[in-house]
Structure 1
Amino acid sequence: MATHYLVKRFGQAVLTLVATVTLSFFLYHAMPGSPAESLKNVILSQAATGGTTVDIERLNQLVALYTNVQPDQPLYVQFYQYFSSIILEQDLGTSIYESKPVTTLIFERIPWSMFISVYAMVIGYSLSILIGAVMAFKEKSRFDSVSSSILIALNSIPYYIVGILLIYFLAIQNSWFPYGGRVSSSVTAGFNIPFMQSIVYHAALPVLSMSMLGLGGALTMRGNSVRILGEDYLRVAQLRGLRDSRIATQYVGRNAILPMYTQFMIGIAGIFSSAVIVEQIFSYPGVGLLMYSAIQTQDYPLLMGSLIMFTTVTVIAIFIADITYGFVDPRISAGGDNE
């Protein structure tokens, strides 16, 4: 892989992150109600409740502690403080209502969001590859037509509607699954079977809802496979007497999956953003629910930190897809004229 290609892609990733931090700063200042003034009012209200007073200098220091920005400084100084604290120190500020570092809150929740997101992606795309391949081999059959109709119908139903239906029928009506939380309070946390079973059990409905996002890839897999089935090299393989299983896996399956690889990597970012709604529906305490709570409580440092985290995940996923696609598909010359 060409070094200049890696440098170019890495530079694009860094510029995207810099642009995101810059945008979040100006969004912070453009928000209605002046976040800095809102924070000052919260601090003054808390001080009044406790029977104490806060002078202007101390008030500005507290605002700077939460937001990494001195509100009494010029805009360019505030931008430098904000930018340097995030990029150089990885300090996203302090949550107003949790009174904890934003980074700590995000990293406490992100393993749970990653668990259900990656779990859903793997299930959704694995099923789509399997179903799409079978549909291609049975092209124009009853199975192909019925499966296509079902997949088109599923793609037209938003995943959050699926989530609500799952809660109603499987959690409320039949009590087969819990409709909230991430683990049962009756099990002991740790590396033990009951705890891990409880995690999987509580994640089942959110994962099933989010995995609907990956099933649309079955139609893509079918189209890729049908196109490859008509290639000349496949006929040559059949004339050579190669086994059908080898042709299906090494010739058809491998080449049909390649275009879906980038979709899978970018889909990781998409499914993280969908976690905001899914976690709120299922009361699943991940980063998505944390971000939703930040919106509800106008916790601006936490909201901006979550935005930067989601963007970072997106950029990393796309960057990994860019630098690894050349290894996955040897036909692609990374950094070439058609990059």
Structure 2
Amino acid sequence: MSLKQLAVIKHLCLVRAPPSSAEESPSADVEQRRGCLEEDLLALLESGEAADVTLRVGRRGGRLAVHRALLLARCPALAAVLRVKGVRPAVFAEVMRFVYTGKAALEADSAGEVLAAAERFSLPELADRCEQLLMEGLSIETAAATAVVAVASCRPALTSAAVELISRHAPQVMGTDGWRAALRDHTEVAVRICCLVSAAAAPAAVSPDISTNPAEDLNWRLLQAAKDGAVEELRVLLAVGADVETKDEYRKTALQWAAERGYAKAVDCLLSSGAEVNTRDRWQLTPLHRAAERGHQDVVTVLLEAGADKSAMDNRGRTPLYIAKVINRWQVMDILK
């Protein structure tokens, strides 16, 4: 291994994800150094040199050598994982390329899968890029598949665009392979899309008010508000009938999303509205697991005060404390002990 690569490994823990648009733009010198670092990191990912973790991906258990320190810094949701299910190896490889370099060579055919994976692994910037690509490629042929991804991932703008196109070209869209696949593989989401299309097609003199939207739309908005930590919107949605226990394609509730993203006030709001504190997602992870994994001390405290089960185990037998230990969330560990 070269000295340059050793230097990269030494500084992996200091590497952070690329800044969002809200952050101050880096200087030209910083951008130049970042470009070199990105090339080094991509070379490490492709070569597997100095990797200390091997992930098994997909049904056939394809293997990918990665560096745990970098995952801790850029994608904690993957730092304690050894087996990644429900994601095609090619899609996961693109996700890891983004984690390492902040860049992704996205293709229209796989953008929906990458978006779903980005949401699952808490990579909002990658999810936004996928959404933009899907928006640009929206057509009669892609409308159904795009709508499924948009609704399942709680993407308001993309959902609105896809639903509008479907409502204007319903016969053509419903004759596509994408629509048949949606009905076959994503029945519940397809029913939600039908409700949204029906509402969009209904004659109305003015834009529909929140109180007149169908229940499915309210529930979808609730999940998005939880992801954004929008407490006031959560209160309004719950007041007009949104289901606090509604779940997305990953069986995540609004409480799980708010806990994972560190919104303590949103967590408190949802708990006050009757959210189940020990609800479980597809992987049997509770909100406490999610908050501990991300190191959100305030959220962990709120959940414990609400009666969260510290001994709850996920489908791999891991407790919140165990996950916190594995990825070195020391301050959270002290709260959980």
TM class by smaller structure: under 0.3
Q: Which has the larger radius of gyration?
A: 1
TM-score after normalising by structure 1? 0.24
TM-score after normalising by structure 2? 0.24
Structure with more helix by fraction: 1
